[in-house]
């Protein structure tokens, strides 16, 4: 059975104190997670050493980072290497988020390097893909997302793919309040799984977790997570509020 995951992407929000309060609030009412039903919290780099201490005694809730460097170490001012993140206790890294691709011009080549760095340091990758509105309007989303996956993941071995989670995040749904319909989400998730099966075989495809992201919240999570190929969510805005995030975690628990 593949894992279900709810992952919080805090983006560039919350100061240290606010982050601590949010995590305390979540831990205070956390349902009984399991190996098959996990939570990931990805705060900014600055929060990591604080959050790791807070999560220490809790099982199946993991620390994530929102980015890592393309290189292993050296003179790259302002960058943070995957090995440094691993040394703090990070277990997941979000790679290829559309905001990184768009605002920071991260190319497929850069994403490949980051993914390789993360995997070389025994970190789990949450690889993001998703189409802009013009592509969706032209009904070319399947080809577009297929190419994103091919460019970033097809060099990996079946063994390495065990440490990869895919997050489908249609760009037109991120932070816009406009969610993909359950039909749109299911259709794309099934397509992504087919792409993975075609390249890596049935077992890898059946076991890879595919998360939905893009205005997923406490109102629509139950419906989205009920889709056969939706294995949880990557949550931005709604992960910044204790009650909303707990409701999304609970939606996963009962999915
Ligand atoms: P959102 O962000 O939930 O605020 O739409 C999701 C994401 O970008 O990961």
Active site residues: 97, 169
pTM (2 d.p.):
0.98
In the chain, where are the structural domains located?
A: 4-253
Considering just the CA atoms, what is the radius of gyration of the chain in Å? 17
H or E segment at 48? helix 48-55
CATH value of 4-253 in 3.20.20.70, 3.90.550.10, 3.40.190.10, 3.40.50.150: 3.20.20.70
Q: Is the CB of 96 under 6 A from ligand 1?
A: no
Q: Give the number of other CB atoms < 10 A from CB of residue 72.
A: 14
* Ligand 1 near 236 CB (within 6 A): yes
Tokens of 243: 């009650």
- Predicted local confidence at residue 176, as pLDDT: 87
User: With a 6 A CB cut-off, is 130 part of the ligand 1 pocket?
Assistant: no
| DSSP, residue by residue, 119-171 | HHTTPEEEEEE---HHHHHTT-HHHHHHHHHHHHHTTS-HHHHTTEEEEE--G
Whether 64 is in the pocket of ligand 1, judged by its Cβ within 6 Å, is: no
For residue 74, how far is its CA from the centre of ligand 1 (angstroms)? 32
- Note down pLDDT in tens along the chain; length 255 residues: 899 999 999 999 999 999 999 999 999 999 999 999 999 999 999 999 999 999 999 999 999 999 999 999 999 999 999 999 999 999 999 999 999 999 999 999 999 999 999 999 999 999 999 999 999 999 999 999 999 999 999 999 999 999 999 999 999 998 888 888 999 999 999 999 999 999 999 999 999 999 999 999 999 999 999 999 999 999 999 999 999 999 999 999 999
Distance (angstroms) between ligand 1 centre and the Cα of 9 equals 7
């Amino acid at each position: 059975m593949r894992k279900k995951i709810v992952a919080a992407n805090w983006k560039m929000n919350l100061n240290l104190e606010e982050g601590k309060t949010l995590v305390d609030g979540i831990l205070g009412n956390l349902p009984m997670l399991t190996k098959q039903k996990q939570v990931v919290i990805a705060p900014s780099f600055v929060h990591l050493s604080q959050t790791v201490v807070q999560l220490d005694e809790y099982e199946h809730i993991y620390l994530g980072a929102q980015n890592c460097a393309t290189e292993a170490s050296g003179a790259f001012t302002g960058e943070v290497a995957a090995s440094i993140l691993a040394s703090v206790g990070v277990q997941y890294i979000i790679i290829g988020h559309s905001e990184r691709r768009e605002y920071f011009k991260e190319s497929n080549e850069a994403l490949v390097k980051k993914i390789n760095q993360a995997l070389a340091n025994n970190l789990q990758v949450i690889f993001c893909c998703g189409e802009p509105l013009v592509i969706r309007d032209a009904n070319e989303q399947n080809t577009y997302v297929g190419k994103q996956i091919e460019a970033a993941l097809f060099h990996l071995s079946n063994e390495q793919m065990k440490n990869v989670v895919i997050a489908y995040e249609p760009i037109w749904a991120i932070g816009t309040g406009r969610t993909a319909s359950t039909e749109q989400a299911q259709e794309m998730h099934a397509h992504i799984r087919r792409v993975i099966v075609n390249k890596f075989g049935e077992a890898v495809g059946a076991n890879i977790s595919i998360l939905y992201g893009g205005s997923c919240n406490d109102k629509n999570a139950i419906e989205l997570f009920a889709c056969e190929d939706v294995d949880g969510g990557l949550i931005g805005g709604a992960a910044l509020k204790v009650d909303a995030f707990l409701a999304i975690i609970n939606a996963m628990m009962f999915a």
